[in-house]
Amino acid sequence: MRAVQHVRNIGILAHVDAGKTTVTERVLYLTGATHRRGEVHDGTTVTDFDAQERERGITIFAAAVSCTWRDLRVNLIDTPGHVDFSDEVERSLRVLDGAVAVFDAVAGVEPQSEAVWRRADRHGVPRIAFVNKMDRAGADLDAALASIRERLHPAPLPVQFPIGREDGFTGVVDLLTMRALRWDDAGVLDDGPVPPELVAEAVRRRAALEEAVAGLHEQALEEFYAAGALSAATLRTALRELTLSGTAVVVLCGSAYRNRGIEPLLDAVADFLPAPEGDAGRPLSALVFKLAGRLAFVRVYTGTLRRGETVLDAGTGRRERIGRILRVQADRHTEAEQAEAGDIVAVAGLRGVRVGTTLCAPEAPILLEPPQAAQPLVSVAVESRRAGESERLATALARLVEQDPSLAVRTDAETGQRLLSGLGELHLQVAVETMRRAGLELAVGRPQVAYRERPASGVSGLVVRHVKQDGGAGQFAHVVLDVEPAEEDFVFASTVTGGRVPREFVRAVEAGCRDALGAGPLGGHPVQGLRVTLTDGATHVKDSSELAFRTAGRLGLRQALEQCRMVLLEPVAEVTVAVPEEWAGGVLGDLAARRGRILGTTSRPGAVVVSALVPLAEVFGYATRLRSRSQGRGTFTTRPAGYAPAG
């Protein structure tokens, strides 16, 4: 593998409303990919193209667009900030090489910024930070830096500081070039000397940056000792290496809405974020990470994707023909003959692929790891209102799941109803609305949370005999099981000695236990939080088989769980509410009435921020409630916080 120097695959990540889509919009404008500046509140941006996104003013689907900056091709993915769509972020991180984390200069690090930051950590994706909305009342770069340091990373390194405050924010001093970058009201950049009144601050902040870099980077430290200062070139090289290794985070600031700060942000993407790795000479491997209409978005890892070529869908063994290869450039698409390793493109005409499909050269099959899908937490019953449309509904549901693996569909065994489940109320509303807009008339039930069950006590020495020996091929499996509560979701161990149960049958018992985890004794909910130990067993020369042991494992664990004391678990969410002071009392009372446990209260300019753990079932409809309780001034976000005993 070698670095593909002329490409950057970059994600824009942040809390809801931090300004990701506005930043993306300005990038597309500046790079010439679009000729007008769209606004989120007018419903005119390029990347929030879906009708529901435009109406709701939020991003729902990650959008991939390509543009050119300097001599680089930048493939940009604008991701949603709302937690219900965090699987879109997960899938994007799977194919990205770097990211820009956007922060609101008033709010600093918000809960969902922290959540996506941790996700990016797990994927090892290097980041730079952009503190946006410097034009807002209460905007404060140093406070934002402090919150990054406290909550995300010990070494945020500002390479700029703002010129003017709030409404008077007009530009930044660039600490690498020691120049003042200012934008007029039309967004036109002027690059000039640092104004005299800011020289002292610029010198002080540059010295602080040099010292911080020298403290983290060995070669920089040597130069610092030898020369007493660091050159811009050394700073740039060191900052790049510190970013790639995750040792430091370069911080820039600006106001996307006012068109200020975007050119230096693009320069920082080019200078500090990594080029993709890829080898165009090897056989093709590519991953489908997103479907949108008839387009499949793919990241090419090795080899070259060529128009008209036949490739293998490695998961299903089916062959697909590569139709048109497109680069989505804002409002238009350009066609390409091929895409090389390291690139991200859209392909038209693939029929059977889903999110997570590997496409590869037929003669060199390989399976890439698909993005992980989150477990659904909420479900609604969906029925067709018109007779005879059951098939159409089934097809529409299947299509939704193909595009978004964090949605799931099943049929309720008792009622025969179709249940659609997903990550939250909004997630399901959007999915249902998509089907309605496609012409289906639907009856939709109230949202229900997905319960789990967990043993609170164990059983030991449970003997299970699964024996069927009435002529012909029989079944014979004896197992002895211990079950106890555990921190982990599920752990299986065997302490059987002397080969009394052969290894393949032990594995079959484990598989049987996993089968039994699907439905617990309290209400048929999935079971978690247990350790199962196989302590003994017996086989029969002729009638023992993997199937017999798997059945014994399943029946055995089911019996064991009936004997344990079981606890019903419900999903809980960490809810963070920001309201003006005068409404805070009412909000606290309301959270308590919703079985919420207050975790903490802090204040920031103009608002009190309350965080609480609240059962997810009690969060349904909270948006409406908060609006009426705070005359529309309150905002809230949630994030999943695991399961807790229902009560």
Positions in the binding site for ligand GTP (CB under 6 A): 14, 16-22, 39-41, 58-59, 80-82, 132-133, 135-136, 255-257
Q: Return the closest-CA partner of residue 59 out of 29, 121, 15.
A: 15
133 binds, among Mg ion, ligand GTP, none (CB under 5 to 8 A by kind): ligand GTP
| Contacts of residue 13, Cβ cutoff 8 Å, sequence gap at least 6 | 20, 79, 89, 99, 100, 101, 102, 113, 116, 117, 120, 127
Q: How many residues bind Mg ion (CB under 5 A)?
A: 3
Smallest separation (angstroms) from Mg ion to the CB of 596 = 28
Smallest separation (angstroms) from ligand GTP to the CB of 119 = 15
Which CB atom, from 59 or from 384, has the smaller least distance to ligand GTP?
59
556 binds, among Mg ion, ligand GTP, none (CB under 5 to 8 A by kind): none
d(CA 216, CA 634): 41
Point out which span in 55-63, 301-309, 421-429, 490-498 binds Mg ion (CB under 5 A): 55-63
Smallest separation (angstroms) from Mg ion to the CB of 338 = 31
278 binds, among Mg ion, ligand GTP, none (CB under 5 to 8 A by kind): none
136 binds, among ligand GTP, Mg ion, none (CB under 5 to 8 A by kind): ligand GTP
Strand ranges inside 423-458, DSSP E? 442-444, 448-449, 452-455
Point out which span in 20-28, 87-95, 397-405, 452-460 binds Mg ion (CB under 5 A): 20-28
Q: Which residue has the tokens 């103009």?
A: 606
Output the CA–CA distances (angstroms, integers) from residue 519 to 78, 257, 480, in the order listed: 39, 51, 21
Point out which span in 13-21, 265-273, 295-303, 445-453 binds Mg ion (CB under 5 A): 13-21
Could you say whether residue 629 binds Mg ion (CB under 5 A)?
no
Which CB atom, from 253 or from 311, has the smaller least distance to ligand GTP?
253
Output the CA–CA distances (angstroms, integers) from residue 316 to 287, 304, 353, in the order listed: 14, 21, 9
Smallest separation (angstroms) from Mg ion to the CB of 60 = 9
Which residue is closest to ligand GTP by CB?
A: 81
Which CB atom, from 52 or from 535, has the smaller least distance to ligand GTP?
52
Beta strand pairing call for 249-253 and 156-158 = parallel
61 binds, among ligand GTP, Mg ion, none (CB under 5 to 8 A by kind): none
Point out which span in 59-67, 162-170, 212-220, 408-416 binds Mg ion (CB under 5 A): 59-67
357 binds, among Mg ion, ligand GTP, none (CB under 5 to 8 A by kind): none
Output the CA–CA distances (angstroms, integers) from residue 393 to 157, 233, 432, in the order listed: 52, 60, 11
Q: What is the 3-state secondary structure (H, E, C) of 200-267?
A: HHHHHHHHHHHHHHHHHCHHHHHHHHHHCCCCHHHHHHHHHHHHHCCCCEEEEECECCCCECHHHHHH
Is residue 514 within 8 A of residue 586, CB to CB? The reply is: no
Smallest separation (angstroms) from ligand GTP to the CB of 60 = 8
Smallest separation (angstroms) from Mg ion to the CB of 233 = 36
d(CA 495, CA 327): 57
Single-letter residue type at 526: P
256 binds, among Mg ion, ligand GTP, none (CB under 5 to 8 A by kind): ligand GTP
257 binds, among ligand GTP, Mg ion, none (CB under 5 to 8 A by kind): ligand GTP
Q: Which of 14, 15, 18, 20 binds Mg ion (CB under 5 A)?
A: 20
Which CB atom, from 16 or from 483, has the smaller least distance to ligand GTP?
16
Smallest separation (angstroms) from ligand GTP to the CB of 104 = 8
Which CB atom, from 14 or from 300, has the smaller least distance to ligand GTP?
14
SS3 434: helix
41 binds, among Mg ion, ligand GTP, none (CB under 5 to 8 A by kind): ligand GTP
Which CB atom, from 11 or from 80, has the smaller least distance to ligand GTP?
80
Beta strand pairing call for 344-348 and 295-302 = antiparallel
| Count of beta carbons in the 10 Å neighbourhood of residue 446 | 8
Query: What are the tokens at 400?
Result: 């939704």
Could you say whether residue 59 binds Mg ion (CB under 5 A)?
yes
Q: Return the closest-CA partner of residue 20 out of 42, 46, 1.
A: 46
d(CA 638, CA 86): 12
d(CA 53, CA 60): 6
Q: Return the closest-CA partner of residue 156 out of 251, 79, 88, 91.
A: 251
DSSP string, 132-176: E-TTSTT--HHHHHHHHHHHT-S-EEESEEEES-GGG--EEEETT
* CA 225 remoteness from chain centre: 43
Smallest separation (angstroms) from Mg ion to the CB of 19 = 8
Residues across the chain = 647
Which CB atom, from 12 or from 567, has the smaller least distance to ligand GTP?
12
Smallest separation (angstroms) from ligand GTP to the CB of 23 = 7
Smallest separation (angstroms) from ligand GTP to the CB of 39 = 6
Smallest separation (angstroms) from ligand GTP to the CB of 622 = 18
608 binds, among Mg ion, ligand GTP, none (CB under 5 to 8 A by kind): none
Supply the Cα-derived Rg of the chain in whole angstroms: 28
Query: What are the tokens at 28?
Result: 């597309």
Could you say whether residue 92 binds Mg ion (CB under 5 A)?
no
SS3 611: strand
Which CB atom, from 423 or from 534, has the smaller least distance to Mg ion?
423
Smallest separation (angstroms) from ligand GTP to the CB of 25 = 7
Smallest separation (angstroms) from Mg ion to the CB of 18 = 9
Interface residue list for Mg ion (CB under 5 A): 20-21, 59
